[in-house]
Every structure is written in structure tokens, then in C-alpha cells.
Amino acid sequence: MEQEARVSIERSAVIPAGTINLRGRRRFGERIIETIVFICGAISIFTTTAIVIVLFQEAWLFFGSPEVDLTEFFSTTTWQPETGRFGIWPLMMSTLITSIIALLVAVPLGLGAAIYLSEYASPTARGYLKPILEVLAGVPTVVYGYFALTFVTPVILQGLLGKENVEIYNMLSAGLTMGIMILPLVASMSEDALSAVPRSLREGSYGLGATRLETSVRVVVPAALSGILAAVIVAMSRAVGETMIVALAAGAGPRFTFNPLQAAETMTGHIARISGGDISYASIQYTSIFAIALVLFFMTLLLNLLSGWVVRRFREVYE
Amino acid sequence: MTVAELSAVDMAQANGRYAVELHNTHIYYGSFRAVKDVSLQIERQRITAFIGPSGCGKSTVLRAINRMNDLIPGSRLEGRILFHGKNIYDPDVDPVEVRRRIGMVFQKPNPFPKSIYDNIMFGPRINGWRGTKAQADELVERALRGAAIWDEVKDKLHQPGTALSGGQQQRLCIARALAVQPEVILMDEPCSALDPISTLKIEELMLELRRNYTIIIVTHNMQQASRVSDYTAFFLMDADRAGQLVEYGPTEQIFTSPNDKRTEDYISGRFG
């Protein structure tokens, strides 16, 4: 075909006006690729939709059953499927506490690391450190879970606060470890946001006699704020959805408590434990985990929407 | 607050003719010599233009004067650049202090994504501003008036500086530089991203600023250099691609009767 094209170019000079053929050739390769990428896109959308549908169906069975009362579900603080008491708050509280602890660890450390990488580190140092950070992101979460259970709790927390004050399963340990887990995410996304701030803004700041710190804190970070906030929210939804660490280290029974040194099962931890056990598919206990999953789904959905809004709202346009 | 206005005049009397002096300056990027053996004296309260074709090192020389090249990894300078008789490349000199006294306006307007007010106050604040709100308002107004943009923005001081037009942004950047009361203002092709009317306004402004400040401008536009500058330095790349100073003198002389054949060729548009 290429040869043909070349010949026609050579001839084009002598072709009389009005005889040029502009009708499209059939490009089979183009059509095939188009079909393939369309199928790829369709599959991911289809599976997502299917998951949401299944979630709603099973949750419907749960909320529709006579033992469950929707108001009770959202307003009471005991989750005891065995006695038919379904109040989501103990699970939700534990999820919130562990996630907030994780953010308290990951946001300052992650942002600090990002500022170091983007504003202070030499290109060589950055070349070494960024991949290391990404390796940290690749550690399986079950490893973090064991780390929390066998090191953070007994050595650090019980060592510092006393064995009698810290339960062997506790939310603090799970939260701290989860913070370490999402740290690379915060650092890497914030670093991208900081690096995207144009050099001209930094030069403007240095040109006025600002130091490196003043430039980072007063110019670069504010200019990258929307990206940094988005990173925080993505990290939050990662923490809310994280399962293995909390399943292993936070506790294996729902409990309504605000004390992070006590054990309390999170939403994800509960789902993992129940679905791992041998319960009947017909039981209310089985459908209850779909109801929890639905609540979880809405929490992360809300966070994602929030992140989209934050990015638009706080975007400082620099051009 | 009248310190800047006083100090510029006082220093002109106290410290002789020259604001900045370059002595045998060589500038390297890694092993590449970008600028070779430049010596020139910049007269106080005058406008000095650096002209020459692309890549001739004029911007590099300009950025050396307030140590902006320090931000480029691997850059290095040999020779001396004197400011108040002190070599600003001496080891005991803090580049931050140099930049507070030798301000800079860049090729592309780069207001911070903050309000107009905060753009102006950025410099004073990082320099430990301790004035009252009223004093700050006064400082902002004076800086904006100084950059001939006050009337256009006085009703929207708390709107983002990035929402202004390109020409207004550039004048905002000049106002921002004025707010830290520098002695010297370096301008790196300040009009190259602007339309002719905005360019004219900046040029008028420069002539206005000359009364209190020493201005060094890099420009590609030879008409601009001849319109605004008192002195002109012509730079050219030599055989090993290092920029060097070909000729330096009063603008009128450079444009009407240059001593060097290469200057004449460039001015008359034979190359570049």
C-alpha cells in the first residue's frame, strides 16, 4: 500500500484536474483496533455496573427482611446479627477512627516527603528515593497487617503505653500501620502536584528574595493545593476501604468505642470475617454484609465526588 | 517607607556612578562555558539594554547579577560581580539577600495564584513585614501606582492577579518587585509575551522608574532598546558557542556609529 501511495504521488503532477479520487480507502486495521478498545472500555463499565447491581440486590434483601429496621440500622450502636440487632455505628465508628489515625500519619509525613522530593532533593537523590517510595506502595497489605499485629502493637504501643493499657487488637495500631501504607500514595500524588507547579512561579518567588522554605510553603504548596487535597481524599478512601490490616490488627468483633487502644471491628474487617466463615447464603447475616458494603460504597463514592469538587474549587490557575 | 526613595538617591551620591560592575565574568553550565570574559559597568539610575541574537548569553549574564543562575544545577561563575563594592559571589554572601536588593521581572508574566493585594505583599511579608493594615494598604497602593497599574486594579485588589490581562500581569509583577524596594531591577525580555500597546505602557513605565531605580533589560527587540535605554551592550556567540560582550556604550553611539563591524551588521539587520 505504501508503494502504491508513492507511485500515486509521483503521478499526481500529471493527473488532469477533476480526476483525483478522494474517496476513503477501507482501513481494516483501524476498525479492528477501534472495536477492541471499545470492548475493553465496555467490559470495565459493565463489571462495575454489575457489581453495584448485585450490591443493591442483596442489600435490598437485607433491608426488606422483617428483622431489619432502617432507622434502627442508622441510629443504634449495637451490631449483633445473632440477636438480630443491626446498628451500623460500631462498625462505622471503627472505620472512621482507624482512617483518621491513618490520615494523621500519612498526610504530614507524605506531604513532607513530597516537598522534600520536589523542592529540596537533587535530581540524583530523587532518582533513588522515588522508586523506593513506590516499592513501599507495592508491599502486600497482609504484610502490613502482620507488621501491625506482631510489631507495632506489642513492641511500640505496649512498650510505650504499658501492656495493661493496650489491647492486643486495637484500632491505633491498625490506623498507624495503615498510615504507613497510604503514605507513598499521599507522597507520590502530592509530589506530582508540586512538580506540576511551573518553574516560573518559583523563580518569581526567589527573585523577590524568598528562601527555599518560603517558596515551598507560600508559593508552591498553595499553587498545588487542589492536587494535594485530592491526594488526601484518595488516601482517605483507600484507608476506608482497606481490609487486610484492620482485619488482622484492629479487632474481630464489633464494638462501639471511641478509645483507639481498644479492639473494634471495622466495616471491611467485619465483611471479610463473615464472608470467610461458613454461613448460609440464605441467612440474614450473609445479606447483612452486603448492606455494610453498600454503606461503604456510598462513603467512598462520596469521597471521590468530594475530591472532584475540591480539585475544581481550589484549583489555582497559574497560566 | 520613604526609605527606598531616599536610599536610591543617597546611594547614587554616596557610592559613585555604578550600580553593578562585572569583572572578567565567565559563566559555566557544567563543563559548557556559556559566557566568556564579560566586563562591564552598569550606571546607576539609567536603563541598560542587553541585546544580541538568541543563545548569545545575554539572559545568562542578566540572571548572574542577582544569582538566579544558582537555581540551575551545575551552573558556576568565575570572575567578580560587584554590588556596592562587594563581590556578590563571595562565599559569605547570601543569594537571598542579593535578590532582595536586585529584583527581577521575567519574560512571561508570573503573578502568583493569589490576589493582587497578596501578590504585592508577598515580598514585604517574607522580609518580615510588621506594619499595620493601613501601612500595608499604603504600600500596596504605592507599589501599584509605581507600576502604573493602580487605576486599573484599585477596585479589585482582592481578585486573583492571574485574572488580569498579560500586560496588566506584567505590570503587577513589576509592582511586586517594587514593593520590596530594590535598587536594581533586572528585566528579562519583559515585553516579549505582550501586545504592542502593553509593550508601550511598560516602556513608558521603565522611563518613569529610571528616576529611582537602575534598570537592566534584556531584549530581542532592537527598536525597544533604542527607544528606552541609555546604554546598550551587544553580545554575540563566539566560535565555541560561548557568549561574549562585543561592544558596550551609550545607546545612541551603538545604534548610529558602532565601533565593531559585527555590531553594525546586527543593528542593520544583516543577521540575527
Half-sphere exposure of B158 (CA within 13 A, CB side): 1
Q: What is the mean pLDDT of residues B219-237?
A: 92
Q: In 3-state terms, chain A is what percent helix, strand and coil (to 5)?
A: 75, 0, 25
Mind telling me how many Å the CA of B212 is from chain A's nearest CA? Answer: 18
* Structural domain harbouring B73: 3-110+184-267
DSSP-derived pairing of the beta strands A85-86 and A79-80:
antiparallel
The beta-carbon neighbor of A210 closest among B111, B126, B162 is: B126
Would B117 be classed as within a structural domain?
A: no
Interface test with B, best of A126, A199, A208 (most B CBs within 10 A): A208
The beta-carbon neighbor of B123 closest among A203, A208, A223 is: A208
In the numeric block, which cell numbers belong to residue B223?
A: 527598536
CB of A311 within 8 A of CB of A227? yes
CB of B37 within 8 A of CB of B244? yes
Would B57 be classed as within a structural domain?
A: yes
Q: In the prediction, which pLDDT does B12 show?
A: 47
Do the Cβ atoms of B162 and A319 come within 8 Å? Answer: yes
Mind telling me how many Å the CA of B120 is from chain A's nearest CA? Answer: 10
Selection from A243, A258, A251 nearest residue A293 by Cα? A243
Chain B partners of A219 at a C-beta cutoff of 8 Å? Answer: 112, 122
Exposed / middle / buried, residue A130 (Cβ in 10 Å: 0-12, 13-18, 19+): middle
Q: In which residue ranges of chain A is pLDDT below 70?
A: 1-18, 316-319
Cβ count within 10 A of residue A202 = 20
Residue B90: what are its φ and ψ, rounded to 5°? -65, 150
The beta-carbon neighbor of A316 closest among B113, B126, B176 is: B113
In the numeric block, which cell numbers belong to residue A191?
A: 509530589
Cβ count within 10 A of residue B128 = 6
Do the Cβ atoms of B99 and A207 come within 8 Å? Answer: yes
Confidence of residue B27 (pLDDT cuts 50, 70, 90): very high
SS3 B38: strand
Would B82 be classed as within a structural domain?
A: yes
Residues 6+ away with beta carbon under 8 Å from B4: B181, B212
CB of A279 within 8 A of CB of A201? no
Longest pairwise C-alpha distance within chain B: 58
Would B159 be classed as within a structural domain?
A: no
Would B119 be classed as within a structural domain?
A: no
Selection from A112, A79, A83 nearest residue A95 by Cα? A79
ipTM of the complex: 0.87
> Looking at the predicted structure, is the pLDDT value of residue B10 above 60?
no
Cβ count within 10 A of residue A260 = 21
Chain B partners of A217 at a C-beta cutoff of 8 Å? Answer: none
Q: What is the mean pLDDT of residues B239-255?
A: 92
The beta-carbon neighbor of A201 closest among B73, B112, B160 is: B112
Q: Which residues pair with B5 in a beta bridge?
A: none
Going from the C-alpha of B166 to that of each of A77, B119, B216, the distances in angstroms are 59, 15, 21
Chain B partners of A204 at a C-beta cutoff of 8 Å? Answer: 106, 110-112, 173, 176
Mind telling me how many Å the CA of B155 is from chain A's nearest CA? Answer: 21
Q: In the prediction, which pLDDT does A10 show?
A: 54
Confidence of residue B1 (pLDDT cuts 50, 70, 90): very low
Mean pLDDT of chain B: 89
The beta-carbon neighbor of B68 closest among A198, A207, A318 is: A207
Q: In the prediction, which pLDDT does A30 show?
A: 87
Do the Cβ atoms of A318 and B114 come within 8 Å? Answer: no
Which residue on chain A is closest to B178 by alpha carbon?
A: A208
Going from the C-alpha of A177 to that of each of A153, A190, A238, the distances in angstroms are 10, 20, 13
B196-225 per-position pLDDT tens digit: 888 998 999 999 999 999 999 999 888 899
Cβ count within 10 A of residue A36 = 10
Q: What is the mean pLDDT of residues B75-97?
A: 93
In chain B, how many domains are there? 1
Going from the C-alpha of B169 to that of each of A277, B124, B201, the distances in angstroms are 65, 19, 12
DSSP-derived pairing of the beta strands B47-51 and B75-83:
unpaired
Which residue on chain A is closest to B96 by alpha carbon?
A: A209
Q: In the prediction, which pLDDT does A319 show?
A: 46
Confidence of residue B109 (pLDDT cuts 50, 70, 90): very high
Would B249 be classed as within a structural domain?
A: yes
Which residue on chain A is closest to B101 by alpha carbon?
A: A209
Which residue on chain B is closest to A319 by alpha carbon?
A: B162
Q: In the prediction, which pLDDT does A2 show?
A: 46
Q: The cell 502530592 sits on which residue?
A: A190
Distance, CA of A143 to chain centre: 18
Would B230 be classed as within a structural domain?
A: yes
Report DSSP letters for A5-69, one per residue.
Answer: HHHHHHHHTTSPTT----PPPP-HHHHHHHHHHHHHHHHHHHHHHHHHHHHHHHHHHHHHSTT--
Do the Cβ atoms of A204 and B112 come within 8 Å? Answer: yes
Q: What is the mean pLDDT of residues B116-132?
A: 93
Chain B partners of A202 at a C-beta cutoff of 8 Å? Answer: 71
SS3 B208: helix
Residue A238: what are its φ and ψ, rounded to 5°? -60, -45
* Residue A248, Ramachandran bin (φ over 0: left; ψ between -120 and 50: alpha; else beta): alpha
Do the Cβ atoms of A206 and B71 come within 8 Å? Answer: yes
Which residues of chain B approach chain A closer than 8 Å at the C-beta? 66, 68, 71, 73, 96-97, 99-101, 103-106, 108, 110-114, 122-123, 125-127, 160, 162, 173, 176-177, 180
Do the Cβ atoms of A200 and B66 come within 8 Å? Answer: no
Range with lowest mean pLDDT among A57-66, B58-67, B77-86: A57-66
Across chain B, where does the E strand assignment appear? 18-29, 32-43, 47-51, 75-83, 86-87, 102-105, 184-188, 214-218, 231-237, 243-250
SS3 A168: coil
CB of B72 within 8 A of CB of B29? yes
Range with lowest mean pLDDT among B8-17, B48-57, B167-176: B8-17
> Looking at the predicted structure, is the pLDDT value of residue B232 above 90?
yes
A254-265 per-position pLDDT tens digit: 899 899 999 999
Mind telling me how many Å the CA of A114 is from chain B's nearest CA? Answer: 19
Do the Cβ atoms of A318 and B113 come within 8 Å? Answer: yes
Do the Cβ atoms of B126 and A200 come within 8 Å? Answer: no
* Greater pLDDT, B268 or A95: A95
DSSP state of B115: B
> Looking at the predicted structure, is the pLDDT value of residue B272 above 80?
no
Do the Cβ atoms of B104 and A203 come within 8 Å? Answer: yes
Would B127 be classed as within a structural domain?
A: no
Q: In the prediction, which pLDDT does A285 show?
A: 85
